[in-house]
Amino acid sequence: MVRLFGTDGVRGEANTELTPELAYRLGRAATLYFGAHSEVRPRILIGRDTRISGEMFEAALTSGICSAGGVALLAGIVPTPAVAYLARKHKAQAGIVISASHNPFGDNGIKFFGGDGYKLPDAVEDELEALVCRLASHDDEARPIGGKIGIVEHRGDLVNQYVDYVTGTCAERLDGMKIVLDCANGAAYETMPRILRRLGADLKVIHALPNGVNINDNCGSTHLDSLRRTVVETGADIGIAHDGDADRCLCIDEKGELIDGDHILVACVAEMLRAGRLPHKTVVSTVMANIGFHKAITALGARVEVTQVGDRYVLEAMRRGGYTIGGEQSGHIIFADYGTTGDGPVTALQVLAALKRSGKKASELSAMMTTYPQLLVNVRVKTKEGWAENEAIRAAIRAGEERLGADGRVLVRPSGTEPLIRVMAEGADNKQLEEVCGAIADVVLREQGEA
């Protein structure tokens, strides 16, 4: 059987792979699981993004929670990190986010946070999955009746608590700073404009009119053209883009150039070093971080702890090592001083505060790191098994590394969700990268078979 929980919760096309029936069982299973050793009704907080299917899944999850005697706290439309923060603040047993992040509107997802605000460990997800499967085949769990049936609390006030919390993470006023904000027609459409205006920003907001089907539609952190154009046309100091559930943040400088997650980390690490707030002088990032990122961090006098791709692995390394900042090139940045997961609004405020304190232009902060050209080739294969031990592939990788030398690198890894092996190379010369990637990809295709 295919595992129900993927790398970030349960996802699929709404009403096809991800159905209301499945959502009902997830809500019921979560209540039974988290309430198993509780003397009081388990409280589960639910937040969602702006997708048309969000209310359907909210209703289904709520029914499942109430059928098991729990309390469903409905926060409405809020960013993903708001659920993590609010579940912890209100001592809920769990938090549930209904969102498919940067995916198109037709998809949706259900992901869980524990009462501590952290994503659930794999072992807990496995137990929940087993319980969901059992409920689907034979639901013999007790069903409370009368006054013990679960209840629903509509908590429209919770979004205000998140706004207050995020605003309080910024130590600078933003008066006089001209900002363009792209809300992706998603979960941050209400919260982030309020936060920036409260801090005094001169704000222009785009893509903040969600209608259920326009989330991430040629906007947000995965489609930056309209933000880039608006920043340049209006003479703004900086542009900020979130994705559909606002756990990511990317920026555009005053010249229209991208400030990705690597650049954001470098700017924030520099500020934390200056303030003496970088434990062990270490930042955590993944194997996908640009080689220019590593060079910039070294130049600052800090070091990088490297993990596999995925924010959960970044967070695990941060908690294990006692580090306070980590993230990914995609703009999923975690500040342990402020939260337990990636938070797009918090990330944006840390960048804006650093910009305000420095008195520099956004392009000057971004120039602290030189981005090396990066080429990625996806090779569709019959099997991903055994590639790492294949001597022909290993020899091709070694040859590529030798050719690129100290100012380049090669990274080959399998896709976690598709029959692909990804071949990535970085270096100073694009033509050389094409030749290196092409040579390795040819060997991978020959050895692993064409799909």
Q: Which residues are catalytic?
A: 101
Q: Token pair of 397, please?
A: 């990788």
Q: Token pair of 86, please?
A: 């609010």
- 127 Cβ neighbours under 8 A, 6+ residues apart: 33
Q: Token pair of 406, please?
A: 């100290």
- SS3 call for 116: coil
d(CA 334, CA 347): 8
d(CA 207, CA 215): 9
For 132-169, give the DSSP string: HHHHHH---S----GGGS-EEEE-TTHHHHHHHHHHTT
AA identity, residue 359: G
Q: Token pair of 336, please?
A: 């342990």
d(CA 305, CA 412): 19
d(CA 406, CA 362): 29
DSSP summary character for residue 308? -
Whether 148 and 39 have beta carbons less than 8 Å apart is answered as: no
**Residue count (the chain):** 451
Beta bridge partners of 305: 284
Cross-sheet strand order for the sheet of 282-286 = 303-307, 282-286, 325-327, 333-335
Strand 303-307 vs strand 282-286: parallel, antiparallel, or unpaired? parallel
Q: What are phi and psi of 350, to 5 degrees?
A: -65, -40
In 3D space, the residue among 242, 271, 238 whose CA is nearest the CA of residue 257 turns out to be 238
Q: Check the CA dihedral 256-261-262-265 and report its sign.
A: positive
